[in-house]
Amino acid sequence: MKKQPLNIAILTVSDTRTPETDKSGDQLQSCAQADGHRVTERKLVKDDMFHIRAVVSAWIHQEDVHAVLITGGTGFAERDVTPEAIEPLLVQKIPGFGELFRQVSYAEIGNSTIQSRALAGISNRTFVVAVPGSTGACATAWNKVLADQLDSNHKPCNFVQQLV
């Protein structure tokens, strides 16, 4: 069966990166496109709860955005507010995403994975996920979790049916 391509929006949360230095956003875009998805929007915002929430909320509202991938702001630094920004927007939280991400990440970075507050959920038929800001974390999230869950042919189940 032919794979259902999704429209994906990518948000990088960072006080220090620019569009030219956003390697983590590049990583997510490259992975999504390599798997046949379309990156329809991409933005970079500062670590500010209300800017993050405004962008994500707008994308959730757009019928043609199936998934929002957020990189950055999931640690414990004072400015890391991505989870607090997006949690109120999630109608259905997916606690297993953060648990699974930390489990697969453990093989790569050991117990430092405990400092990740990666999370995911669904709102208005839009899958929303937040992962750490490192390029390695983005690759791990895509290759070990997101690629399968955003693949309409992945069995026994995937999230695509909930999104399109």
User: b vs e for 131-147, b when ≥16 Cβ sit within 10 Å of the residue's Cβ?
Assistant: bbbbbebbbbbbebbbb
pLDDT digits (tens, 9 = 90+) for 73-130: 999 999 999 999 999 999 999 999 999 999 999 999 999 999 999 999 999 999 999 9
Structural domains in the chain? 7-163 (3.40.980.10)
pLDDT digits (tens, 9 = 90+) for 24-71: 999 999 999 999 999 999 999 999 999 999 999 999 999 999 999 999
Calpha distance 23→21 (Å, rounded): 6
For residue 2, what pLDDT band results from cuts at 50, 70 and 90?
Answer: confident
